[in-house]
Structure formats: C-alpha cells, structure tokens
C-alpha cells in the first residue's frame, strides 16, 4: 500500500478523536479500578450492556441510552445482591453479568434486526459517525474533569475507606460516583473496542502504571498516556493491516504491558525509582 496521510480522511479523524477521548477517561479510571480490585466489576458491566444495545436499536434509540441503562441496572443489582450477603461478591457479579450477556445473545438471535454482532463485541472505531464522536466527548469530558477534581478523595477511598469517614466524607457517595463513572466509561468505550475488549482499556493502563510507580499522582498521568498511545497505535495498525480496530487496541495494550513487565524485572530498570523519588 502506498504511503498516505491517514489524517486526510474524515473517518480517521473521528476515530482518533473518539479513541483519545475514550483512552483518557478509561486511563484515569484504571488507576483506581486496578488498585481497588474492581476489575471483575468492569468486566461485568461491559458484558451486561449487550441487551441494552439490542433493545435501544429496536426502539430506535441511540445505543448509548440502552447501554447506559443496563450498565446502571447491573451496578444496582450487584450492589443489592452483595448487601444480602447470601452469596460472595464475586459470585454475585458473575451471576448478573452472565445472565445479562446471555439475554443479549438470545435477543440478537431471535429478534430481526440489522445489528452487526462483531461491531458490538469488538467495536467499530473506524466507523464512528460525527454524532457518535460528539456523544463520547460530551460524556467523557465531564467524567474526566470530575475524576481529576475528586482524585484525592478517590485515592484516599482506595487506600483507606475508614479515613474517608473520619474526615467527614461519605464512602457510599464516593463509591457510587466511581461506579457510575465506570459505567459511563464502559458505555463510551463500546464504540472503540466493543463489549469484549472494553475491560482491557480499564485494566491494562493502570496495571502498567502500577509497575512503573507506586505513587497515585504519577499513575494518574502515566495510565492515560499509555492508554492514549496504545489507542493511536491500534487505530493506525488497524488501518494499514485492515484488521479489527478494537482487536488491535487490545493487542497493543497487551504488548505494552509485556514490555513494561519484562523491563521491570531487569535489575537495572530504574524508571519507577526515579518517579517515586520525585
């Protein structure tokens, strides 16, 4: 293929803007999600939104509406089952998300529609429309701003919930805010990487940042940076290789993690030590 400037194409411009917006939000959230052990919750929400997408399509609504409704329903249901203490938290999460995901697959197989299952499961970033891009920006920008403004409170919550209560803050309110932010982030990442791979944007950047530093203030810029670079590489790779954009982004994130993990195991690797001293 002859060399071309991919930025000359409007669809690539939309893909890059949407991908970067998604990466920043997911990268920020990833810092707290990985530290608090909420990775399974992210996986649950990402799978549970499938029936919402199908129902929204049938009703002629934007898919983001249906996805958001089912994401919030998942958060509420998991919370209620957890409170009952009848089953373990991880069991509750597993039951809810597998049930909703199964419902989504049944709806797709039985209800006549033009929904492309591969786009839902793996994303279609190169097919993003201008309204899709604007929706992602309008949802993602406020989330990112609020996360930055509340980063100290959220960091304290992730390290010491008891101290949060001691200084007069509500752990329930902060936890609810983080869960809603997580649900919204997964909804906007649906277009970029799909249901299956959205969890990669919420886990891998934070895990990479944690390997490089132990300080949350450094993680909060390293994680979004890793997510953004991975998205840019993934989008570019998907264009030139004619491959799935979501798959390429997920693969890039995995490769980046492996590289950092290997470097971290080397005795002379001092990047993390330099950061933690500053």
CATH of 6-277, one of 1.10.3470.10, 2.60.40.1930, 3.40.30.10, 3.40.50.450: 1.10.3470.10
Residues with Cβ < 8 Å from 159, sequence gap 6 or more?
A: 35
Q: Write out pLDDT tens, residues 171-200.
A: 888 988 998 899 889 888 887 778 777 888
Tokens of residue 248, six digits: 């390429």
Q: Which residue carries 């707290």 as its tokens?
A: 32
Report the pLDDT value the prediction gives residue 276, as an integer from 0 to 100. 58
User: What backbone phi and psi angles, to 5 degrees, belong to 2?
Assistant: -65, 150
Q: How far apart are CA 213 and CA 276, in angstroms?
A: 6
Q: Write out pLDDT tens, residues 64-100.
A: 888 889 988 888 887 777 676 777 878 888 888 889 9
- Residue spans per domain, the chain: 6-277
Query: Is the pLDDT reported for residue 263 higher than 80?
Result: yes
Residue ranges of alpha helices (H) inside 160-170 are: 161-166
Query: Is the pLDDT reported for residue 63 higher than 60?
Result: yes
Residues 193, 246 contacting (CB under 8 angstroms): yes
Q: How far apart are CA 190 and CA 176, in angstroms?
A: 21
Residues with Cβ < 8 Å from 180, sequence gap 6 or more?
A: 72, 75
Tokens of residue 182, six digits: 């997580």
Residues 34, 158 contacting (CB under 8 angstroms): no
């Amino acid at each position: 293929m002859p060399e071309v400037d991919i930025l000359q194409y409007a669809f690539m411009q939309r893909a890059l803007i949407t991908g970067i917006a998604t990466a920043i939000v997911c990268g920020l959230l990833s810092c707290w999600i990985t530290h608090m052990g909420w990775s399974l919750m992210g996986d649950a929400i990402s799978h549970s939104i499938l029936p919402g997408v199908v129902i929204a399509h049938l009703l002629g609504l934007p898919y983001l509406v249906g996805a958001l409704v089912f994401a919030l329903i998942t958060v509420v249901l998991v919370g209620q089952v957890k409170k009952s203490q009848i089953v373990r938290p991880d069991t509750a999460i597993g039951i809810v998300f597998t049930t909703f995901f199964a419902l989504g697959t049944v709806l797709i197989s039985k209800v006549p529609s033009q929904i492309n299952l591969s786009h839902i499961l793996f994303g279609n970033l190169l097919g993003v429309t201008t309204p899709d891009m604007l929706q992602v920006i309008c949802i993602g920008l406020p989330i990112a701003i609020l996360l930055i403004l509340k980063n100290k409170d959220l960091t304290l919550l992730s390290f010491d919930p008891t101290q949060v209560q001691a200084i007069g803050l509500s752990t329930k309110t902060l936890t609810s805010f983080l869960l809603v932010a997580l649900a919204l982030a997964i909804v906007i990442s649906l277009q970029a990487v799909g249901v299956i791979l959205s969890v990669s944007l919420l886990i891998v950047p934070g895990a990479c940042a944690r390997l490089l530093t132990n300080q949350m203030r450094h993680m909060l810029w390293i994680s979004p940076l890793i997510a953004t670079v991975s998205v840019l590489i993934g989008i570019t790779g998907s264009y030139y290789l004619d491959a799935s954009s979501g798959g390429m982004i997920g693969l890039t994130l995995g490769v980046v993690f492996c590289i950092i993990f290997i470097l971290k195991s080397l005795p002379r690797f001092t990047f993390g030590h330099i950061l933690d001293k500053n």
